Structure 1
Amino acid sequence: MKIAMIGTGYVGLVSGVCLSDFGHEVVCVDKDPRKIDMLLRGEVPIFEPGLDQLMAKNVAAGRLSFTQDLAAALDGADAVFIAVGTPTRRGDGHADLTYVTAAAEEIARTMTHYTVVVTKSTVPVGTNQMVADTIRRVRPDAEFDVASNPEFLREGAAIDDFMRPDRIVVGVTSDRARAVMGEIYRPLFLREFPILYTDLETAELIKYAANAFLATKITFINEIAQLCERVGANIKEVSRGMGLDGRIGNKFLHAGPGYGGSCFPKDTKALARMGQDHAVPMQIVETVIKVNDEVKRRMIDKVVDLCEGSVNGKTVAVLGVTFKPNTDDMRDAPALTIVPALVGAGAKVRVVDPQGKAEGEALLPGVHWADDAYKAAHNADCVVILTEWNEFRALDLAKLARKMTVARMADLRNIYNQADAAKAGFIAYTSVGR
């Protein structure tokens, strides 16, 4: 099948590359000439493990191409995916649908034959109907169907998630659209990955409900971690004891500095707003948002307390600033709350991150970027682990301690433990929930 993918951000590019690997002819469209130029040169504008090789493979096979010309991409296309950003709208928490609406209008003006318009972006309930209404308003004679196909990709593991999904959710309103979507995902159906067909509204809400539930698990375990610190319990053992229960599972039960990234913050806010708009308050979700913000601020207090009540004039080495490892994504990362607070309190902050510098330089003014953890720790008064990159999981702690003026560690990802830190020469160590 021929597919047009509007948007070459994280979701659009990963989805387009993977669909081309299924054997479809995919044309990725973006209005940003810089992105298209990069892609035409074989360069990937985002960091996702394995994406560059998979993209090169399918470009070489003639199944994947890139353009700014939507008309050319839609020529002969069976489906067009909308995979544009839906950031939180300033002031009210709603998802900003400006880019979705613009894409729908441009599709309407450009399409020449029956096409399934697939919303891949995360959008509030009712958006797909709005897309249909927009197309009909611009082109009353257009022949099309709208489908909802939310993504469930984890940054850092997106290719595997697309190729081996827990499920594929498809909201449709006609048998014709269902047949097109079934053909698009036929390679996964043949391998017996479950495809759940629903109405449009159910598909839209599944995405928000799933993300809000996972954000709730993270926030719950972070609250339990705070209680562990007060009563002398160990959060890692509590998490393991909970996770062994098959009804709960062990994923998303790792205490830390709070959730961030491109999905959980904006999706929880959007779901809370949807509840308010429909007079069904999402009280649990609203509390999750509040508690997650408090968790990030509590991490600042941990670092300050470790430094004997003040970081003013002290050098602090921060290891990791992306919201999770194996991504360059800084969106709503805990570092964006914690690092500026340390700088504002008078700390001299050095930062090291394998992929975060490109975005982080603009987002974290007033910090010095180092090449590795040991350089960051040179003559430092404290080391803070914010992101659990593999290179920070296997540090030579004794070497790290020797580099420092005062060997203190705030291990906000619970990678190490008190005994190992003390043995290596750290005079002070703190973690989360232990």
Structure 2
Amino acid sequence: MTGTSRRIAVFGAGYIGLVTGACFAELGHRVVVRDIQPERIRLLNSGEIPFFEPGLGDLIARNKERLSFTLDVQEAVSEAEVVFVCVDTPPTASGDADLSRVWAVIDAVRDASHLVAIVVKSTVPVGTGARVRAALDERGLTHVGYASNPEFTAEGRAVEDFLHPDRVVIGTSDGDKAAAWVTALYKPLDSPIELMDVASAEMVKLASNALLATRITFINEIATVCEATGADIGHVSRAVGLDHRLGPHFLKAGLGYGGSCFPKDSRALRAMASNSGYPFQLLNAVIQVNELQPRRAVQRLKAELNGLKGRRIALLGMTFKPATDDMREAPSTTLAARLLAEGATVTCWDPMAPHTTAHQDPWSSTTRHPDPLSALTDADAAILVTEWPELTDIDWPTAARTMRTPLFLDGRNLLDPTTLLAAGFTHMGVGRTTRRPS
């Protein structure tokens, strides 16, 4: 099958589905992406991308002859050889993954007996594949293969991650012809391909994200100890990361992780373990510490300003990380809610956060500004929330003069403390002692 153009249907036009579809089209395959949201499909058919992801728009435009978008199930699967399931699996009230969208896809293709395989990229609990396999068999689709193919793309670099992956994980049953078929799709990427059973493949995604979340949380805990002892987290994390056994990745202290994967997947793994009778105590601690990180920042400002009632606080950055417009589980949302609850007025700036947030709590009670300087005007303190590169180019002496109180909490340790001190700011960093201008 290497070098052969295949016909692929992708269900779900979110971050994972669109990147998957566009990248497979880039590899020479014919792809139909199906979604249930009419407005999203309308935008895609008119050449617009419904969210920001670097390089994705160019990729879709370059492959428009091989890539199409539809609301219709039959249009998507009628000529497809394989269906990729890329729908979201949001948490339920109990913390379990909501698999209703996955099952909706399985139900939608129940008559597609011509398929070679159904491949699930959505993050699902271990055991989901076995249940899907049983459902397919009950419907007389024993000849249709099944594979778990978890995604490991990060927002902001998803196209690069897909086309140049660290590894490709494919989980299938023994003897399932889907293994060879899906392997051939990824072979042109020239990356390690890890073949395994379905349950192990499902666990890989959850374990990977939980481990990354643990590293972030651990360095944030060390940062808290640094603040108490006078050590500098910048020096500590850099030296720790030089250890070849550890490496530097995900050892940057900050306001905690957010986004669509780490919080959801950590809770899903915890719920899955609890449902199996095992209290995952380490993961419990990781989740609890991460939820406290933005709240600690608010407490530090409250102590420094002797209360927050009537204070004006500027949030620089709203999205959960730069190079994305994603606000899901963003620490900024907790910051804004807590500041408002303490009686503060909140102003904010972000170059990419969707303006629809203006109608959502807590953002409906904040004031958004078109540039950082206007957000800082008359503020009693500022919190750098997202590492947007624009923030390194601000005229900080001017910014300090426009503020009522030049107090700066660098929640990502992005800026040079010396520069801010020279500009007249009191500087607070994560894992660094508070420093005041001389």
TM-score range, shorter chain: over 0.9
2:33 maps to 1:28: yes
- Segments of structure 1 that go 5 or more residues without pairing to the other structure are none
Q: Deviations over 1:234-276 (max 9, x none)?
A: 0011001110011111010000011111011111111111111
2:303 maps to 1:305: yes
Task: Identify which of 90, 101, 104 aligns with 2:103.
Answer: 101
Distance in structure 1 (CA, Å) of the matches to 2:417 and 2:19:
40
Does the Cα contact within 8 Å between 1:75 and 1:112 map onto a contact in 2?
Answer: no
Which is worse superposed, 410-419 or 332-341?
410-419
Cα distance change of structure 1 residues 223 and 141 upon mapping to structure 2, 3 Å threshold: closer
State the match for 2:86 in structure 1: 83
Aligned to 2:199, what secondary structure does the other structure show? helix
TM-score by length of 1: 0.95
Does the Cα contact within 8 Å between 1:328 and 1:359 map onto a contact in 2?
Answer: no
State the match for 2:121 in structure 1: 120
Task: Identify which of 10, 23, 44 aligns with 1:18.
Answer: 23
State the match for 1:167 in structure 2: 167
Distance in structure 1 (CA, Å) of the matches to 2:118 and 2:311:
55
Task: Quote the offset at 1:421 in angstroms.
Answer: 1.2
Identity of aligned residues (%): 43
Cα distance change of structure 1 residues 378 and 141 upon mapping to structure 2, 3 Å threshold: closer
Distance in structure 1 (CA, Å) of the matches to 2:238 and 2:54:
28
Distance in structure 2 (CA, Å) of the matches to 1:343 and 1:170:
47
Distance in structure 2 (CA, Å) of the matches to 1:45 and 1:141:
35
State the match for 2:198 in structure 1: 200
Does the Cα contact within 8 Å between 1:172 and 1:199 map onto a contact in 2?
Answer: yes
Does the Cα contact within 8 Å between 2:313 and 2:345 map onto a contact in 1?
Answer: yes
State the match for 1:145 in structure 2: 145
State the match for 1:70 in structure 2: 73
Does the Cα contact within 8 Å between 2:26 and 2:63 map onto a contact in 1?
Answer: yes
Does the Cα contact within 8 Å between 1:381 and 1:406 map onto a contact in 2?
Answer: yes
State the match for 2:436 in structure 1: none
Residue type at the aligned position of 2:145: D
Residue type at the aligned position of 2:198: L
State the match for 1:414 in structure 2: 413
Does the Cα contact within 8 Å between 1:78 and 1:180 map onto a contact in 2?
Answer: no
Does the Cα contact within 8 Å between 2:145 and 2:176 map onto a contact in 1?
Answer: no
Distance in structure 2 (CA, Å) of the matches to 1:16 and 1:124:
24
Aligned to 1:293, what secondary structure does the other structure show? helix
Distance in structure 2 (CA, Å) of the matches to 1:312 and 1:331:
28
Residue type at the aligned position of 2:414: I
Distance in structure 2 (CA, Å) of the matches to 1:175 and 1:422:
63
Alignment of 1:10-409 (within 5 A): 10-59=15-64, 62-90=65-93, 92-109=94-111, 111-137=112-138, 139-141=139-141, 143-173=143-173, 174-188=175-189, 191=190, 193-306=191-304, 308-361=305-358, 362-363=360-361, 364-409=363-408
Task: Quote the offset at 1:360 in angstroms.
Answer: 2.7
Moved over 6 A (4+): none
Does the Cα contact within 8 Å between 2:146 and 2:176 map onto a contact in 1?
Answer: no
Q: Deviations over 1:319-374 (max 9, x none)?
A: 00111111111111111111111112221111111111335322422011100101
Does the Cα contact within 8 Å between 2:113 and 2:141 map onto a contact in 1?
Answer: no
Task: Quote the offset at 1:18 in angstroms.
Answer: 0.8
Distance in structure 2 (CA, Å) of the matches to 1:359 and 1:194:
41
Task: Quote the offset at 1:175 in angstroms.
Answer: 4.2
- Segments of structure 2 that go 5 or more residues without pairing to the other structure are 1-5, 433-438
Task: Quote the offset at 1:131 in angstroms.
Answer: 1.8
TM-score by length of 2: 0.94
Q: Deviations over 1:2-21 (max 9, x none)?
A: 10000001111111111110
Q: Deviations over 1:159-191 (max 9, x none)?
A: 110111000000012341112102211211xx3
Distance in structure 2 (CA, Å) of the matches to 1:183 and 1:203:
18
Residue type at the aligned position of 1:244: L
Which is worse superposed, 68-77 or 78-87?
68-77
Does the Cα contact within 8 Å between 1:330 and 1:359 map onto a contact in 2?
Answer: no
Residue type at the aligned position of 1:149: N
